[in-house]
Amino acid sequence: MPHYKNTAGCSTVKMGVPEKVVIPMVQHIGAPCEPVVKKGDNVKVGQVIGSSDKYVSSPIHSSVSGVVSDISPRLYPGGVSVMTVEIKTDGKQEIHESVTPPKYSSKKEFLEIIRQSGLVGLGGAGFPAHVKLSPPPDKPVDTLIINGAECEPFITSDYRHIIENSDSIIDGIKMLIDVLEVKHVWIGIEDNKPEAIKLLSGITDEDSTIDVVKLKSRYPQGAEKMLIYSITGRKVPPGKLPADVGVIVMNVNSVSFISQHMKTGMPLIKKIVTVDGSAVKNPSNVEVLIGTPLEDVFNFTGGFKSEPRKVLMGGPMMGIAQFSLQAPVLKHTNALLAFDEADAKVPPESPCIRCGKCVSACPMNLLPLSLNFNVLKGNMDELHNLHINDCIECGSCSYVCPSKRHLVQSIRLGKAQLRQAAAKGGK
């Protein structure tokens, strides 16, 4: 698979304040937040605008200062309707009084600070960080893995983050070592990023608890289960979490955010995103305020060189196609890609020739061609025998298929159908 890391050399450029920001009340896996501001309220940078009592949730903060101009359900970039707060900015970026450097003296306090910071897994899934960092007591964690693999093509925002913020990454790791009491920390980086490996190896040279691991550049190397296996040789069983094998995985962005947050108290309100793709005039890395509409980000980089026909939030393998450029940048957005007509086109499917390339490509040892066949035939019982729910939806099977079959797409469909059947009281 080509890497297309066109923007590896593009230093992060800071984008200014957009006219308005659009902030959905779900930017994480878990319970949605309720808006805690009203239309017409003045808000400041770092002010909580959405929160939830539920444990598996993460509060949402304003990334700007301005006036709440609308609160209404809107279509979320993932395709479902979500309560959304729109804020007209005043450009002053006044900081809210709640933003002060936090202090902690226990693990419990540390985790509460993390929770209030709004941190979610920044690698893409958006799992609330305080939950991830609190494994149940019967699952002792001895290993922390820092994910800097960045295996998706095109995306270089993690790479730039390492190059530009290496000190805060290491600081964050040291805080986590103290709090989590882990024995060892591995920083996993794919070998197509030699400068990042060199830089972090240099800094951690003296430290025997932190090691940088050079990983083979092979998609989906950065997928949690693959990363854990490559580094520790431990296999996370189907349906289990990393903590079940004594591991916690954090993205490089997440750890550096933790160290910055402890210094300033500023919650998660900005993100570095890679802007690239065949329709983009100037591929670049941009630091963007969360809630900025995609159109503003593209325009900031110089706009399009040809009409975009497909716009992705995330990478080309697992990113979500957007139906509107008014969609906002979210907490876990790491790339915005825009493709022209030629790249947007979906090739026609032809019959499966049973070449088995999808079988060799599947990191989970599944049989994508058989899953595809049984989903299309509606053989729901067979899907369990073929372990359909173990699919991590990395897309490798569809990528390699010479017949251009929509393999992972049909597997997603099959999973959804099984969920529906289960909800109806079936098996």
* Interacting residues toward other proteins by CB under 8 A: 1, 153, 225, 229, 235-238, 240, 307-312, 314, 316-325, 339, 343-344, 346-347, 350-357, 359-360, 363-367, 369-370, 385-387, 390, 393, 395, 398-404, 406, 408-409, 412
**DSSP bridge pairs for 390:** none
Task: Find out whether 22 and 69 touch, Cβ atoms under 8 Å.
Answer: no
Least gap, CB of 183 to other proteins (angstroms): 22
Sheet harboring 284-289: ordered strands across? 12-14, 284-289, 270-276, 335-339, 310-313, 320-322
Q: Is the Cβ of residue 258 or residue 371 nearer to other proteins in the bound state?
A: 371
Q: Is the Cβ of residue 82 or residue 95 nearer to other proteins in the bound state?
A: 82
Task: Find out whether 61 and 77 touch, Cβ atoms under 8 Å.
Answer: no
**DSSP bridge pairs for 146:** 187, 250
Least gap, CB of 24 to other proteins (angstroms): 18
Neighbour count for residue 196 (Cβ, 10 Å): 24
Q: Is the Cβ of residue 67 or residue 359 nearer to other proteins in the bound state?
A: 359
Least gap, CB of 397 to other proteins (angstroms): 9
**Which SS3 state, helix, strand or coil, does residue 21 take?**
strand
Token duo for residue 87: 């804020």
Q: Is the Cβ of residue 30 or residue 303 nearer to other proteins in the bound state?
A: 303
Task: Find out whether 172 and 252 touch, Cβ atoms under 8 Å.
Answer: no
Q: Name the residue with tokens 């700007």.
A: 64
Class of residue 380 by CB neighbours under 10 A (exposed 0-12, middle 13-18, buried 19+) = middle
Least gap, CB of 140 to other proteins (angstroms): 19
Q: Is the Cβ of residue 261 or residue 357 nearer to other proteins in the bound state?
A: 357
Token duo for residue 98: 């709640």
Least gap, CB of 123 to other proteins (angstroms): 16
As a whole number of angstroms, the distance between CA 228 and CA 221 comes to 9
**Residue among 252, 229, 188 nearest 363 (CA):** 229
Q: Is the Cβ of residue 211 or residue 295 nearer to other proteins in the bound state?
A: 295
Q: Is the Cβ of residue 26 or residue 364 nearer to other proteins in the bound state?
A: 364
- Using only the alpha carbons of the chain, give its radius of gyration: 21
Least gap, CB of 203 to other proteins (angstroms): 33
**Which SS3 state, helix, strand or coil, does residue 37 take?**
coil
Least gap, CB of 366 to other proteins (angstroms): 7
Least gap, CB of 223 to other proteins (angstroms): 10
**Residues ≥6 apart with Cβ < 8 Å to 212:** 186, 187, 189, 197, 200, 201, 204
Q: Is the Cβ of residue 170 or residue 336 nearer to other proteins in the bound state?
A: 336
Question: Which amino acid is it at 309?
Answer: R
